[in-house]
Every structure is written in C-alpha cells, then in structure tokens.
Amino acid sequence: MKLQRVLQYAQSLLKDAVHEGDIAVDATAGNGHDTLFLAQLVGDDGYVYAFDVQKEAVDSTLHRLLDNALEHRAIVLKDGHENIGKYVTKQVAGAIFNLGYLPGSNHEIITKPNTTIAALESLLQLLKIGGVIVLVIYHGHEGGKEERDAIIRYVSSLPQKYVHVLRYEFLNQHNDPPFVIALEKVKDLPTK
C-alpha cells in the first residue's frame, strides 16, 4: 500500500461520493482544478457550482472548463462560498474547499473562518446522505492558524450520529503541510 498525498486523498473521497448526474460544489474555485475534476465526475446530467471572490480565479476556472469543453457542466460564480444557499437548492453529493489564498496571487486575500463555517452549515443542510465535504486546509500563512483552529472546533462539535468527521495528515512533514478534514453525512441534521 502507498499512502496518498493530501490532494490525491481529497480527490479519492470525492470520486467515491460524486457520480454522474449529481450536484457538486467547489467552494473555492481558485485555478479551477477541482471544478474541472468535479465536472468530469458529474457527467452531462450533473452540475457543478464553483465559487470564488476573485475575478482572476473565476476567469482561470472558466478558461480551464472551456479548454476541456466542459463549461456546460458548471457555473462559476464571483461570490463568496458563504452564499452557497442563494444558488444551490438541490441535494449536493460532494463539495471541496481549498482554504488559504489563491496560489500566485495576492496573499492578503484569504479564506476566513466565519465565511467558511457559514458555507459548511449551508452545505451540511444540502448534503445528501452519504455525501462528503472535503476541506484541504492550508494553514502556513497569516490568518491560517486561526481559520484552522476555528474549523477544527466547529467540526469537532458536530454530532457523530449525523456527521462523521475525519482528519488526514502527515505528522512528520515540516513547514505547516496542508491536511484534509472530511465530513460524511450519515443522517439528516435537525433544522435550526
């Protein structure tokens, strides 16, 4: 057996949960790699909603979809992931977050704990039974540790009879390596 790297593991979790005809969410579109991956999984009968607050991320994601002739399987929204509930109304099979900043861009524009947790709360209501939310947590930047800690507190408080929470990381790597937190919905959560 060979241990999967963090991004490989994130994709394998999504591959197990998202199938043709499903709805998926890329909560942090970034350079579009995850949006493209999800668009390949959902097929022509499914759909991907991708969110990012930066125009260059939206443009990059749209170009990646166009280059692969998959633009009809996704919508890329220039909006924060905390607004997922305004756009997505159907059950979601899988969602991914890459927390931190857009690589090669302004490192001062980062994901924030309050908006990420708001997005998680929306997605947990939309998520179908057996669906997964994958968070790839990059925390080696200004503000990263605060977001990491807030998310760990939030997901640790989720009741286990409704949501299973997993943490996948390499413990002996240096310089704040990213890690995965995955949420699997096992039962509908009570509505607030």
pLDDT in tens, 89-98: 999 999 999 9
pLDDT in tens, 129-158: 999 999 999 887 787 889 999 999 999 999
The arrangement of secondary structure in 6-185, i.e. its CATH architecture, is 3-Layer(aba) Sandwich (3.40)
Interval 8-17 mean pLDDT: 96
Give me the mean pLDDT over the 108-115 stretch. 87
* DSSP single-letter state for residue 5: P
Amino acid occupying residue 63: H
Q: What is the pLDDT of residue 192?
A: 61
Identity (one letter) of the amino acid at 127?
Answer: L
> For the chain, what percent of residues have pLDDT higher than 70?
99
Q: Do strands 47-52 and 74-78 pair parallel, antiparallel, or not at all (unpaired)?
A: parallel
Domain ranges of the chain: 6-185
Q: Which residue has the higher pLDDT, 108 or 62?
A: 62
Average pLDDT over residues 3-7: 89
**If you average pLDDT over residues 46-74, what whole number do you get?**
97
Rounded to an integer, what distance in angstroms lies between the CA atom of residue 64 and that of residue 71? 9
CA distances (Å), origin 84, targets 5, 159, 161, 179: 28, 23, 25, 24
The predicted model scores a pTM of 0.95
Could you tell me which residues come within 8 angstroms of residue 46 by beta carbon, excluding any fewer than 6 positions away? 18, 19, 20, 21, 22, 23, 24, 73
Rounded Cα–Cα distance for residues 102 and 122 (Å): 23
